[in-house]
Amino acid sequence: METASRRIKPIIRLLRKRYPEARTALEFGDPLQILVATILAAQCTDERVNRITPGLFRKYPTAAAFARADRGELEREIRPAGFFRNKAKSIVGAAGRRVEKYGGVVPDSMDELVTLPGVARKTANIVLSAGYGKAEGIAVDTHAGRLSRRLGLSRHEDPDKVERDLLALVPKADWLDFNFLLVEHGRALCQARKPKCPSCFLKKLCPSAETFIAGEERP
C-alpha cells in the first residue's frame, strides 16, 4: 500500500467523482443558522436537527433574539437534539457574545469563532466552510475521524490531532469540501459497524479494506 501522501490525491479525485454535490446536510439560510444548527448536531443526526430548526429560526431570527431567549423554554424546544441543557447554554452564550462584541454578526475567522461559548474547531470549520465559503481548516466529526483512520490518513482519536494530520496531507484547495466528502462516503459505504468494503470504490487505496473483507469471508 502506498503512503498516505501518495494516496490522498487519488482518494479525493474518486470521492469528488462519486459525490459531486457533497455539502452539509444541515438546512440553514445564513451563518447564524448554520452555527446554531451545528451546535445542535453534536451527537445528533442532521435529520433530527433539520426537524427542529425551522420553527426555532422563525422564533429566534437574530443573534439578539437567541441572546434574550428564556433558557428553560429554549431547552424544551431543542430537547429532541439531546444534551439540550448544554446546547442551550452554548447557543445563548454564543449569541450574547456576538451581540456584545460583533454587533450580532457571526465572525468569519477561526480565531474569533473559537472565542464563542460552545464553539470549538469542528463547529468553527463547518461555519466557515458552509456559511462563508472559507477554508481555515478541516472539520473532524465522527465520520471524518473514522474514515481518516480507516484510510490510513491519521492514527489519532483526538479530533484536533486528526485535523493536523489531514492539513498536512490534503491540498489546501480541497480543505473546503474534504469533510463533506468524507461524511457522504461514511453514510453511503464506510459505515461505522459494517463498512461495505467489497463494493467500495476506494478499496484499492484503503489499508483497512482487506481486513474488513477477510473478516466477512471467515466462516
Cite the active site residues.
122, 141
Cell of 174: 480541497
| Residue 103 and residue 64 in contact, taking contact as beta carbons nearer than 8 Å | no
Spell out the long-range contacts of 22-29 with Cβ–Cβ below 8 A and sequence spacing 24 or more.
22/177, 22/180, 22/181, 22/183, 22/184, 23/130, 23/177, 23/180, 24/126, 24/130, 24/180, 24/183, 25/50, 25/183, 26/50, 26/53, 26/130, 27/53, 27/54, 28/53, 28/130, 28/131, 29/57
Please tell me the distance from the alpha carbon of residue 91 to that of residue 37, in angstroms, as a whole number: 10
CA torsion, ordered 113, 114, 119, 125, to nearest 10 deg: 70
The CA distances from residue 171 to 7, 99, 145, in Å, are 12, 36, 18
